[in-house]
């Protein structure tokens, strides 16, 4: 390996270590010594300088100067950091914030660490376009890691904090003392009843819409309008669904009474576009030749759809429905004004009666956190909700992946 | 034979009826929101766009909440767009098929986490972390809301941009590679420009999600009906249209309910317009590449 | 073809199952043995109603009491519009409201002192008592730093209830304010309690049932919000917690109200931290 590559590798390793130290300090809010900052940034700067000089001596082009310049900038950041006061108090400027210099130090270490490891790819590939590519790929890999990081952080925290709270009693007992003791049985039953009912309502509507869009009319103004409506419905905020459910179902249809049916109808509207889209996709995946063959044999359009198109697309349709149900199970805003009452005991007792639901129970527990002993119950409820919702989603995704390559 | 054709016609009409239901629902949402909002619009008119909110003086200016909605959404995009684009490039252009098959469902799982869980974690863990780090007044802040919304907008931006880049024909990329460009140059100069309207549509949808998100924001933002001071202060507390509705709806009666429905109409209109724009952009991408298929 | 029939059978099986469960559930609707009592309104009264309903429902299999929040105004409005059986309010019903529901009957199940709570840090630093004037100045924005009231040199984080709540109305009325300089507005008593207990330099106000170790109450004009001080009328910020019905309650509604006023019901009131009115 050439000296140039070795120096670049050295820069990469040092920068990654500095970035990790910065990340660790940031995550744990550890105190960062000024000399640790200047030491690590200084080292990076020296390696950049060495790399630049080496390159300049061997190749004599402007890239070496760029490295030296970059090293100088890093050194300048390190040097200027001493002017950051122990606590940066922004209150005189009406911003109520006091940031300790540790925060800046760990941020500098993290960003300059990442930047320098990115820079190190250039000298490693002798400043060719491959160097630019490797550097870019490196940043892209980092961004996928940081995209998935929240998922793991959320999972880790909820599982580690909620695991202990999930017991048999938690799953089967009534809510006692506003959730301080007892379980969440009524909430589980409420959520299950609600999503079952939602599925029953939404399945024919979603599949019907999809059949019309995919089989009867692929073009034309009507289709354009319907498609736009489905898209708008998909983007509509869940709180707007809640408002509509309250204004229409609760106030007009059910005479001011919050109930299971009103909640399920609202959730059905919310999930309609999800079901429609997946069903349409599934129907479109059925090859046109099959339809033509059926029609040529003298079958009517409806017979063709019923006997030829729907059966093979059933897994896809069900997947979409299940995905929609997963979304419905976790929603709070649409049921807040339409279906839920605080209700200590009792499972759903009828379509026109209010219910308790898991996401709403989590909200009411959250409200009590801090001055009542509900935190472990809240974490357990969050974990249970997550297991239910992600379990539903995961089964849908697995089914979909399994049936994906059918045609 | 005739009865069979009549039956077929009837079936056709039934499906048209079901499909038209979406249009009916959209109009119903608008109509019923408007019916409930009208008394407030009638009584206060353009005062509803003002910046003062004081129930005891009957001042219902929604401007602070509108500003808050846009402010958090922009902040969320600052977090989500660079990360999401990077992740989408990875998934569509770099990742081996095997890795992609694992990562795509994982990102869908991220989208599946209920917003109340995001809010719970955001308020209890992230809010506390930011409070300890920045020495703010309380655990609620725009900053916390922006970070949480950024994470929540990520999956949409990733999967929609991924779809857009996947839709760019392989011939285009191959031509670029054959001319001696590296894969990165191809991504930068060919794939991204070709998919740009799809990517823009992804960003708009991500912003729509951030503006429309309710439960997470409600637990984090602080729900104070005033503008942040100064206007870019991410450490301040404030309100969004969604949080305003969610917080006050259960606590109110009379004219305030009508004001909240007005806020709902604003929200619905903003997000609907964004959906339509994003939709147009997306259709443009597919039409560009799939042509007259 | 055989494969397809099989799959179709499977699909219809699932659909059938869903339908059966739907029929089963709607079947329950017709079961009118269970009487439903709906209670909505003030979040201050909420824990009383909730805990009472938990016990009441366990003992009465034929009655289901459902409880929801919504605020005092919402509770009274529900009585006016007839959308709930019992409306809870943490303030007195106003004359204008009585006009709309002339037969309203007031059941006061508890008394409450409106406790001013502060963060534990502030309390430990010595702010354990304030005067009503000081509290008024803090909420109006005239005092912004704890050192002006004998605390640490830190800015005050002022937390209030949403201006639609009964507690907000009572508090502002008792202090004679019509606008505040609050930094945070919270939906319910519990939200105020949590906000104050998670911050270091905050002040807020809650019903007595919401005082906690991390959000301790302070003395007002020399009196702590205790049962004795409220009953003797010494504590300046106090009110009754009411359950309103349209006309004299009958049947299941009466049974629930009676339970609230019973020895056990009043024990629950005391357990939560409010002041019983009888027994």
Q: How far is A246 from chain B (nearest CA, A)?
A: 10
Here the tokens at position C208 are 């007595």
Q: Which residues of C touch B222 (CB under 8 A)?
A: 183-185
Q: Across the interface, do B268 and A216 touch by the CB < 8 Å criterion?
A: no
**Is the minimum CB–CB distance between A39 and chain C shorter than 8 Å?**
no
Interface pTM, i.e. ipTM:
0.92
Q: Which residues of A touch B235 (CB under 8 A)?
A: 90, 95-97
Here the tokens at position A255 are 């005479």
What is the distance between the alpha carbons of residues C260 and C241, in angstroms, rounded to a whole number? 12
CA distances to A171, A278, A281 from A274, rounded to whole Å, are: 30, 6, 11
**Residue B291: predicted pLDDT:** 54
**Residue C3: predicted pLDDT:** 46
Q: How far is A343 from chain C (nearest CA, A)?
A: 5
Q: What is the pLDDT of residues B22-60, one digit of tens each?
A: 999 999 999 999 999 999 999 998 889 988 888 777 889
Plot region of C159 (φ>0 → left; ψ -120 to 50 → alpha; else → beta): beta
Q: Across the interface, do B251 and C201 touch by the CB < 8 Å criterion?
A: no
What is the distance between the alpha carbons of residues C164 and C72, in angstroms, rounded to a whole number? 9
3-state SS, residue C217: strand
Nearest to A344 among C8, C57, C213 (CB): C57
Chains touching C, CB cut-off 8 Å, 3+ pairs: A, B
Q: Across the interface, do B109 and A393 touch by the CB < 8 Å criterion?
A: yes
What is the distance between the alpha carbons of residues B251 and C74, in angstroms, rounded to a whole number? 6
What is the distance between the alpha carbons of residues B153 and A376, in angstroms, rounded to a whole number? 28
Going by pLDDT thresholds of 50, 70 and 90, the confidence category of residue C2 is very low
Q: Which residues of C touch B141 (CB under 8 A)?
A: none
What is the distance between the alpha carbons of residues A196 and A199, in angstroms, rounded to a whole number? 5
Q: How far is C95 from chain A (nearest CA, A)?
A: 25
Beta-bridge partners for C112: C239
For the entire predicted model, the pTM comes to: 0.89
Q: How far is A247 from chain B (nearest CA, A)?
A: 6
Q: How far is A63 from chain B (nearest CA, A)?
A: 20
Q: What is the pLDDT of residues C8-41, one digit of tens each?
A: 555 555 555 555 555 445 444 444 567 888 898 8
Mean pLDDT of B202-228: 90
What is the distance between the alpha carbons of residues A312 and C50, in angstroms, rounded to a whole number? 51
Q: Which residues of C touch B127 (CB under 8 A)?
A: 198
What is the distance between the alpha carbons of residues A303 and A315, in angstroms, rounded to a whole number? 20
Q: How far is C67 from chain A (nearest CA, A)?
A: 5
Q: Across the interface, do A175 and C22 touch by the CB < 8 Å criterion?
A: no
Nearest to A386 by CA among A165, A232, A122: A165
B:C CB pairs within 8 Å: 84
**Is the minimum CB–CB distance between A258 and chain C shorter than 8 Å?**
yes
Q: What is the pLDDT of residues A203-229, one digit of tens each?
A: 999 999 999 998 888 778 888 899 899
Q: How far is C145 from chain B (nearest CA, A)?
A: 12
Q: Across the interface, do C22 and A341 touch by the CB < 8 Å criterion?
A: no
Q: Across the interface, do B16 and A359 touch by the CB < 8 Å criterion?
A: no
Mean pLDDT of B63-79: 95
Mean pLDDT of B190-206: 92
Asked whether residue C184 carries a pLDDT value surpassing 90, the answer given is: no
**Residue B53: predicted pLDDT:** 84
**Is the minimum CB–CB distance between A303 and chain C shorter than 8 Å?**
no
Q: Which residues of C touch B237 (CB under 8 A)?
A: 183-184
- In chain A, the largest separation of any two C-alpha atoms, in whole Å, equals 86
Nearest CA in chain B to A370: B124
Within chain C, strands assigned E span: 35-41, 63-70, 86-89, 104-118, 129-130, 157-161, 184-186, 202-207, 219-220, 238-246, 275-276
A:B CB pairs within 8 Å: 288
Q: Which residues of A touch B136 (CB under 8 A)?
A: 96-97
Q: Which residues of A touch B158 (CB under 8 A)?
A: 147
Peptide bond before residue B230 is cis, with ω within 30 degrees of 0: yes
Cβ(C210)–Cβ(C189) below 8 Å: yes
Q: What is the pLDDT of residues B85-94, one digit of tens each?
A: 999 999 999 9
Strands C129-130 and C219-220: parallel
Q: Across the interface, do C162 and B247 touch by the CB < 8 Å criterion?
A: yes
Q: Which residues of B touch A395 (CB under 8 A)?
A: none
Nearest to C190 among A200, A340, A368 (CB): A368
Q: Across the interface, do B7 and A140 touch by the CB < 8 Å criterion?
A: no
Q: Across the interface, do A342 and C66 touch by the CB < 8 Å criterion?
A: yes
Cβ(C154)–Cβ(C201) below 8 Å: yes
What is the distance between the alpha carbons of residues B88 and B105, in angstroms, rounded to a whole number? 13
Nearest to C166 by CA among A88, B234, B55, B109: B55
Q: Across the interface, do C73 and B252 touch by the CB < 8 Å criterion?
A: yes
pLDDT cut 70: percent of chain C above it: 88
Chains touching A, CB cut-off 8 Å, 3+ pairs: B, C
Cβ(A63)–Cβ(A51) below 8 Å: no
Q: Across the interface, do B134 and A385 touch by the CB < 8 Å criterion?
A: no
Q: What is the pLDDT of residues A347-377, one digit of tens each?
A: 787 888 888 899 999 998 888 777 678 888 9
Asked whether residue C141 carries a pLDDT value surpassing 50, the answer given is: yes
Name every residue whose Cβ is closer than 8 Å to that of residue A32 and which is 6 or more positions away in sequence: A25, A101, A102, A105, A106, A109
Nearest to C195 among B54, B138, B247 (CB): B138
Q: Identify the helix (H) or strand (E) that includes residue C161.
A: strand C157-161
Q: What is the pLDDT of residues A306-325, one digit of tens each?
A: 888 988 888 888 888 898 99
What is the distance between the alpha carbons of residues A146 and B32, in angstroms, rounded to a whole number? 42
Q: Which residues of B touch A232 (CB under 8 A)?
A: 26, 272, 275-276
Q: How far is A390 from chain B (nearest CA, A)?
A: 7
Q: How far is B24 from chain C (nearest CA, A)?
A: 26
Query: What is the DSSP secondary structure assignment for residue B238, as one 8-state letter?
Result: B
**Residue B292: predicted pLDDT:** 41
Cβ(A340)–Cβ(A242) below 8 Å: no
Within A143-241, strands assigned E span: 175-176, 181-182
Q: Across the interface, do C190 and A371 touch by the CB < 8 Å criterion?
A: yes
């Amino acid at each position: 390996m050439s000296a140039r590559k070795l120096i670049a590798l050295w820069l990469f390793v040092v920068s990654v270590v500095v970035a990790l130290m910065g990340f660790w300090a940031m995550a744990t809010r550890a105190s960062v010594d000024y000399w640790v900052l200047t030491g690590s940034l200084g080292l990076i700067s020296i390696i950049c300088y060495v790399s630049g000089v080496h390159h300049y001596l061997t190749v004599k082009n402007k890239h070496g100067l760029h490295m030296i310049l970059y090293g100088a900038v890093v050194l300048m950041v390190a040097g200027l950091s001493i002017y950051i006061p122990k606590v940066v108090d922004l209150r005189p400027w009406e911003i109520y914030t006091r940031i300790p210099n540790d925060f800046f130090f760990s941020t500098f270490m993290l960003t300059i660490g990442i930047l320098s490891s990115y820079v190190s790819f250039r000298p490693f590939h002798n400043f060719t376009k491959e160097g630019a590519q490797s550097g870019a790929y490196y940043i892209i890999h980092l961004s996928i890691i940081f995209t998935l990081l929240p998922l793991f952080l959320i999972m880790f925290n909820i599982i580690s904090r909620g695991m202990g709270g999930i017991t048999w009693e938690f799953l089967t007992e009534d809510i006692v003392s506003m959730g301080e003791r007892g379980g969440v049985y009524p909430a589980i039953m409420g959520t299950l009843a609600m999503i079952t009912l939602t599925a029953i309502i939404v399945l024919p509507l979603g599949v019907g819409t999809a059949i019309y869009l995919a089989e009867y009319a692929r073009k034309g103004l009507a289709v354009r309008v319907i498609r736009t409506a489905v898209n708008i419905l998909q983007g509509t905020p869940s709180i707007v669904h809640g408002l509509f459910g309250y204004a229409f179902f609760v106030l007009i249809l059910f005479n001011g009474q919050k109930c299971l049916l009103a909640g399920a109808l609202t959730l059905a509207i919310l999930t309609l576009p999800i079901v429609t889209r997946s069903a349409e996709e599934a129907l479109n995946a059925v090859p046109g030749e099959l339809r033509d063959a059926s029609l040529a044999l003298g079958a009517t359009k409806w017979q063709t759809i019923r006997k030829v198109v729907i059966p093979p697309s059933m897994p896809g349709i069900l997947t979409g429905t299940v995905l929609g149900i997963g979304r419905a199970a976790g929603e709070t805003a649409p049921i807040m004004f339409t279906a839920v009452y605080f209700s200590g005991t009792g499972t759903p007792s009828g379509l026109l009666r209010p219910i308790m639901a898991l996401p709403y129970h989590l909200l009411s527990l959250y409200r009590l956190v801090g001055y009542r002993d509900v935190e472990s119950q809240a974490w357990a409820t969050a974990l249970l909700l997550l297991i239910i919702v992600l379990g539903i989603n995961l089964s849908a995704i697995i089914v979909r992946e399994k049936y994906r390559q059918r045609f | 034979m005739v009865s069979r054709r009549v039956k077929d016609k009837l079936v056709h009409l039934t499906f048209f009826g079901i499909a038209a239901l979406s249009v009916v629902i959209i109009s119903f949402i608008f109509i019923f929101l408007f019916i409930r909002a009208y008394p407030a619009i009638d009584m206060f008119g353009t005062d509803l766009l003002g910046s003062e909110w004081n129930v005891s003086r009957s001042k219902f200016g929604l401007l602070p909440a509108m500003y808050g909605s846009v402010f958090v959404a922009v902040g969320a995009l600052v977090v989500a767009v660079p990360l999401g684009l990077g992740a989408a490039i990875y998934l569509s252009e770099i990742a081996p098929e095997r890795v992609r098959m694992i990562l795509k469902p994982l990102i869908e799982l991220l989208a599946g986490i209920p917003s109340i869980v995001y809010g719970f974690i955001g308020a209890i863990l992230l809010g506390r972390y930011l409070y300890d780090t920045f020495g703010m007044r309380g655990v609620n802040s725009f900053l916390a809301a922006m970070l949480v919304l950024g994470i929540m907008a990520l999956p949409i931006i990733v999967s929609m941009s991924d779809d857009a880049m996947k839709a760019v024909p392989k011939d285009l990329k191959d031509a670029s590679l054959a001319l001696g460009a590296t894969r990165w140059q191809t991504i930068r100069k060919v794939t991204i420009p070709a998919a740009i309207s799809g990517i823009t549509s992804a960003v708009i949808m991500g912003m729509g999600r951030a503006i429309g998100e309710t439960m997470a924001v409600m637990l984090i933002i602080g729900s104070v009906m005033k503008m942040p001071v100064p206007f870019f202060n991410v450490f301040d507390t404030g309100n969004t249209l969604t949080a305003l509705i969610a917080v006050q709806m259960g606590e109110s009666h009379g004219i305030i309910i009508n004001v909240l429905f007005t806020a709902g109409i604003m929200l619905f209109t903003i997000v609907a317009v964004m959906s339509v724009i994003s939709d147009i952009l997306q259709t443009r991408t597919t039409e560009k590449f799939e042509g007259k298929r | 073809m055989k494969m397809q029939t099989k799959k179709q059978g499977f699909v219809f099986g699932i659909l059938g199952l869903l339908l059966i469960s739907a029929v089963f559930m709607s079947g329950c609707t017709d079961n009118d043995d269970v009487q439903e009592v709906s209670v909505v309104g003030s979040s201050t009264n909420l824990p009383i109603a909730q805990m009472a309903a938990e016990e009441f429902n366990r003992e009465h299999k034929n009655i289901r009491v459902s409880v929801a929040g919504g605020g005092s105004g919402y509770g009274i409005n529900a009585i006016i519009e007839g959308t709930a059986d019992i409306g809870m309010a943490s303030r007195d019903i106003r004359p204008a409201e009585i006009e709309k529901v002339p037969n309203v009957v007031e059941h006061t199940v508890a008394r409450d002192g409106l406790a001013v709570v502060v963060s534990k840090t502030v309390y430990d630093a010595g702010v354990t008592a304030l005067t009503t004037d000081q509290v008024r100045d803090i909420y109006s924005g005239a005092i912004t730093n704890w050192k002006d009231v004998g605390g640490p040199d830190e800015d005050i984080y002022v937390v209030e209830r949403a201006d639609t709540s009964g507690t907000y109305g009572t508090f502002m009325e008792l202090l004679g304010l019509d606008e505040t300089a609050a930094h945070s507005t919270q939906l319910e008593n519990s939200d105020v309690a949590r906000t104050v207990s998670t911050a270091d330099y905050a002040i807020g106000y809650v019903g007595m049932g919401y005082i906690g170790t991390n959000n301790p109450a302070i003395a007002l004009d020399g009196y702590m919000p205790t049962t004795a001080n409220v009953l003797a009328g010494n504590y300046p910020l106090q009110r009754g917690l009411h359950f309103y019905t349209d006309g004299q309650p009958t049947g299941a509604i009466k049974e629930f109200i009676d339970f609230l006023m019973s020895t056990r019901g009043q024990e629950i009131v005391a357990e939560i931290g409010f002041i019983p009115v009888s027994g």
